[in-house]
Amino acid sequence: MNPSTSPYDQQELRSWLNLTLPAGIGPRKQQQLLRAFGHPDAVFDAGLSAVAGLIGIKLAESLFDGRNNEAQQALIATTLAWLSEPGHHIVTLADRDYPQRLLESDDPPSLLYINGDPAYLNRAAIGIVGSRNATPQGIENALAFSRVLADAGFTIISGLALGIDAAAHEGAIRSEAASGTIAIIGTGIDRVYPSSNKKLAHVVTGKGCIISEFPLGTAATASNFPRRNRLIAGLSQACLVVEAAPASGSLITARLAGELGRDLFAIPGSIHAPQYKGCHALIKQGAKLVECAQDILEELRPQAATQSATPEPAPDKPEHAPLIAALGHDPCTLDQLISRSGLTADAVLAMLTELSLEGVVTNLPGGRYQRLIRS
């Protein structure tokens, strides 16, 4: 919806904003009012008493007072100015472009602020989520899975956070297909959190879109992110958890996706790594264990599953083979590598330096090393 098309459109949008901006009147109560009266204009036309009969007098007074509240009307003016800029959109429940999958959820937002192309909201999509404090292998997995799934035609949805989220968006951007990526944020659409992802956010708007249900200027607060997570689950037809600690917000997304009947996938990891405890818990609860993106495609698109997983390549240099074998797939210390490989300390250190420069091995905190498996 663009308010510049006609005065009527702008007035209609003001009604939607006046319905959604007052504090305490969330999506569920907004929809209760819309079901009763049909349209934001009709809500206000019904009068204070009729509205109070549905949501209580205090919330009703807050709703009606908002139309005369100076701060709220200034925010509406700011929103309309933002909306006049290229690539900026607002989609309401009454619009044809409103994402159909969100309508299946219990409390779809009454409106969405969008920076980018709204057409991506109704495409086949997979959510990819995981830890902000991701391991190098987790980053590599998110990049690889995201790119392959994007190549297969799926829009990639994530939350623009550090770690797995950022890698998922980056993998989709690297795809040669035009599948695109959607970033769902827990702030106002005019903010980027964390600020270190501003460059990534700019690229996402050109390769998909960023969306938010929060008013312009909304800062990042802890309570916003579970709401953001429900939109990731709602917009996705399947959800992949790459890395997740036991108390990870990614598990909230996974739970919500499961409640909506979405396909749920998880990548396993070392039994000793806390970053995978959440993934293992999901697998125990019924999520499908996946080792490559093809596992997901076989589940979602059986007809497209024509390729088998590529075998792991042998080391480029034969002399590296004993150290590669000693590394295995779990983090290990220098002493463990020396003991397992039978090589001298000097030889192990020299090889680790070379393999690190080649991106085969990464250094972890605590003086540990881990092999990176590139998909």
Distance (Å, rounded) from C-alpha 373 to C-alpha 352?
Answer: 15
Give 232 or 311, the one with higher predicted confidence: 232
Mean pLDDT, all residues of the chain: 89
Distance (Å, rounded) from C-alpha 1 to C-alpha 92?
Answer: 8
Query: Minimum mean pLDDT among 130-134, 242-246, 351-355: which range?
Result: 351-355
When pLDDT is averaged across residues 353-369 and rounded to a whole number, the result is: 73
Residue 219 pLDDT class (50, 70, 90 cuts) = very high
* Closest-CA residue to 105 (of 302, 253, 308): 253
Contacts 24+ apart (CB under 8 A), 340-348: 348/323
CB 351 within 8 A of CB 320: yes
When pLDDT is averaged across residues 162-169 and rounded to a whole number, the result is: 98
Phi-psi region at 344: left, alpha or beta (left = phi > 0; alpha = psi -120 to 50): beta
Residue 242 pLDDT class (50, 70, 90 cuts) = very high
The pLDDT tens digits of the residues spanning 75-97 come to 999 999 999 999 999 999 989 88
Domains of the chain in sequence order? 1-78 (no CATH), 119-304 (3.40.50.450), 318-371 (1.10.10.10)
The pLDDT tens digits of the residues spanning 313-336 come to 555 677 787 887 778 767 778 878
Q: What's the start-to-end Cα distance of the chain, in Å? A: 41
pTM, full prediction: 0.81
DSSP state of 342: -
Task: Name every residue whose Cβ is closer than 8 Å to that of residue 368 and which is 6 or more positions away in sequence.
Answer: 331, 332, 333
Residue 3 pLDDT class (50, 70, 90 cuts) = very low
E-strand ranges in 100-226 read: 111-116, 125-129, 155-158, 181-184, 208-212
Distance (Å, rounded) from C-alpha 159 to C-alpha 184?
Answer: 5
Residue 264 pLDDT class (50, 70, 90 cuts) = very high
Distance (Å, rounded) from C-alpha 356 to C-alpha 372?
Answer: 10
Looking at residue 213, its pLDDT comes to 97
Distance (Å, rounded) from C-alpha 134 to C-alpha 214?
Answer: 27
Residue 1 pLDDT class (50, 70, 90 cuts) = low
The pLDDT tens digits of the residues spanning 109-146 come to 999 999 999 999 999 999 999 999 999 999 999 999 99
